[in-house]
Structure 1
Amino acid sequence: MTLSLREKSPVRPATQTTPAQQLRTTMAAARISFTWLGVRKSLNAQQKNQAADAFGAEGKYLSAGKKLLDTTHPAFKQVTSVKGRCLSYWRAISLPYPEPGIRLIRQSAVTEFDQQLAQYCDELETAVAGLDEHFGELRTAARRRLGNLYSAEDYPRSLLGLFAIDHDFPSVEPPAYLQQLNPELYQQECRRMQARFDAAVQLAETAFVDELSKLVDHLHERLRGADGGQTKVFRDSAVTNLTEFLTRFRTLSIRSDLQLEQLVNRCQELVGGVEPQQLRDDQRLRKTISTQLAGVQSALDGLLVDRPRRNILRRPR
């Protein structure tokens, strides 16, 4: 399969929907925010002066803090695990958007997203209740470790209600009433919104290329086997992470980059239906796929290098 690194995306008729317009009409903006107990606190002036004396320094030139709770405690790790899984889920079903804290999800996935976030909220509430049961022993351990730096005023009576996950669907469209109040300003906001969706297309393409490049490079490296006398561990995740990406790409892609589409199709041909154990048992298959992946990786490297030029060419007039 021949892939030209300089191949441009086909010219679309004026009436055909652009990738940015497709994003605008098929995606919804989603935002997740967290309320989270801070576990670090800066030392006060007196405490910094005491700490500075040990180094013969001046307290005002010292930045120091204390850790209020042991975040490695199993109960605390259970709480942070919910946050991590929530963020991973959000990123896996969404595309980046150039406004901080906002990502784009399929409009058809809004209900499922809302239900999944509600589930994470329930899990977090249960995990925080479990952490609160250990709060006494965590404070006792902190008193022992912090010594004179310990202050009971740094700790709440209970941890319940101090952790939360919130989500909403902010509007990224210009407000309709602005068209009546100030048509010129409304048009300005429309142009600004369009520019953001143009940027979102570029962000999505770059994110896809970067992630696919890392996954292909990792699998190719594992399939090559021994290198420099060291045997490389080949885990199932080297294959499953790539196949999961291919599935996610099919769900989220807006088909804005022909070359990327071709490379994804090529990866699907190579690893589709292939089980990790087959690559362990069949050395011929392993070598064949490794060789083919090297070609894919070379093309992806070209896309990564070529990306700034391609973005400029796609910018609408």
Structure 2
Amino acid sequence: MIRVTTSTPNPITDSTELRTQMGAVRLSVHWLGTSKALPASQQAEAAATFGANRDFFSARKKLIDTRHPAYRKVTSIRNRIVSLWKGMTVPYPDPGLRLIRRDRIQIFEIEFQQLLQELSQAVLQLEREFGELKSIARERLGDLFNEEDYPSHLDHLFRIDAEYPNVEPPNYLQRLNPELYEEQSRRIEARFEEALELAEESFLQEFQQLVTRLSERLSGEADGKPKVFRDSALTNLTEFLMRFRQLNIRSNAQLEELIDEAERVTAGLSPESLRSERTMRETVREQLQQVGEVLEDQLELRPRRQIVRSRSREEVVSDAT
């Protein structure tokens, strides 16, 4: 769970503020492989069974039962770590990098380290039960089982690292080659403009999906009864609204207005009240449906807006060079 501070972070209204108030963070996941390609001899044997050409055939074997509770525990913690990383960051154009508010790095690190401790304990438990997992695999794989496919220890095979690379051009470059430094600075400036677009796009898409999901769950009946309404339909939306405020990126005025409206509509709501009060359900559904329609229009207009911004950015870079 992401901790929410009571203080409001400084707003980010353009790519320059995004660049000065955010830093890059990369999450590297190193994980035990749970399947393996069959050796050439077994591949050929399997291909022959189906009369298949060996060059057009491939087969893999599953090494462990990934549904085993001990393995599912470590994967659930991995998923929580990835969710923490994505929930406190916005996209950056470079693969594997995301942007985090610099004033939120300490909060992220506290949560991250706590989850790493949980992961370490879960891996220890998995190692205790790994013999059982291998026995199950030996029974199910038959002649395909190979003891050498399995590590003797697991502690180094489940690792998640968080790094904070510097995406700015190095200061020494300014002394050695000022022209190259300026060129790299303009390139980074363009990357942050693109990052701002990606952040807006990400907000719009997630917001639209959550609003649509909730309004759909509140509409109509199935088999003469109200549709099944799970708590997550509401809590996922309210958590998104809270996360948006914590990131405090205010580069899109219309999105900001829609966020305000969604907060007004959902203020004080509980899953129980939406289940029990039909009139409230209908009122909330109608208001959220209106928000969703505007969001859909924004997403449809998005490609055109991106083209205009991209051309403008190219002109700035071209003029500067």
TM-score normalised according to structure 2 size: 0.90
Q: Which amino acid aligns with 2:304?
A: R
1:99 Cα shift? 0.9
CA contact (8 A) 1:236 1:276 kept: yes
Corresponding residue SS for 2:160: strand
Correspondence for 2:3: none
Q: Find out whether 1:88 has 2:83 as its counterpart.
A: yes
Q: Find out whether 1:104 has 2:99 as its counterpart.
A: yes
Of 44, 51, 59, the match for 1:56: 51
Of 142, 149, 157, the match for 1:162: 157
CA contact (8 A) 2:174 2:181 kept: yes
CA contact (8 A) 1:26 1:106 kept: yes
1:229 Cα shift? 5.7
Corresponding residue SS for 1:108: helix
CA contact (8 A) 1:41 1:65 kept: yes
Q: For 1:117 and 1:34, how far apart are their aligned partners in 2?
A: 13
Q: Which amino acid aligns with 2:36?
A: K
Correspondence for 2:42: 47
Correspondence for 2:188: 193
CA contact (8 A) 1:22 1:254 kept: no
Q: For 2:33 and 2:217, how far apart are their aligned partners in 1?
A: 40
Q: For 2:250 and 2:190, how far apart are their aligned partners in 1?
A: 19
Of 241, 247, 272, the match for 1:246: 241
Correspondence for 2:169: 174
Q: Which amino acid aligns with 2:35?
A: R
TM-score normalised according to structure 1 size: 0.91
CA contact (8 A) 2:13 2:250 kept: no
1:113 Cα shift? 1.4
Q: Which amino acid aligns with 2:121?
A: T
The answer to which of 51-60 and 185-194 deviates more is 51-60
Q: Where does 1:116-265 land on structure 2 (aligned, <5 Å)?
A: 116-226=111-221, 231-265=226-260
Q: For 2:278 and 2:135, how far apart are their aligned partners in 1?
A: 57
CA contact (8 A) 1:45 1:59 kept: no
Of 266, 282, 290, the match for 2:261: 266
Correspondence for 2:21: 26
Q: Which amino acid aligns with 2:139?
A: R
Q: For 2:307 and 2:182, how far apart are their aligned partners in 1?
A: 24
The answer to which of 207-216 and 269-278 deviates more is 269-278
1:232 Cα shift? 1.5
Q: Which amino acid aligns with 2:27?
A: I
Corresponding residue SS for 2:153: coil
Correspondence for 1:303: 298
1:58 Cα shift? 2.8
1:59 Cα shift? 2.4
Q: For 2:295 and 2:152, how far apart are their aligned partners in 1?
A: 54
Structure 1 unaligned segments of length 5 or more: list them: 1-16
Structure 2 unaligned segments of length 5 or more: list them: 1-11, 317-321
Corresponding residue SS for 1:224: coil
Q: Which amino acid aligns with 2:195?
A: A
The answer to which of 63-72 and 224-233 deviates more is 224-233
Q: Which amino acid aligns with 1:68?
A: L
1:195 Cα shift? 1.0
Corresponding residue SS for 1:28: strand
% identical aligned pairs: 49
1:30 Cα shift? 0.9
1:282 Cα shift? 2.4
Q: What CA deviation, in whole Å up to 9, does each residue of 1:49-86 have, x standing for no partner?
A: 11112111232321111111111111111111110000
CA contact (8 A) 2:30 2:159 kept: yes
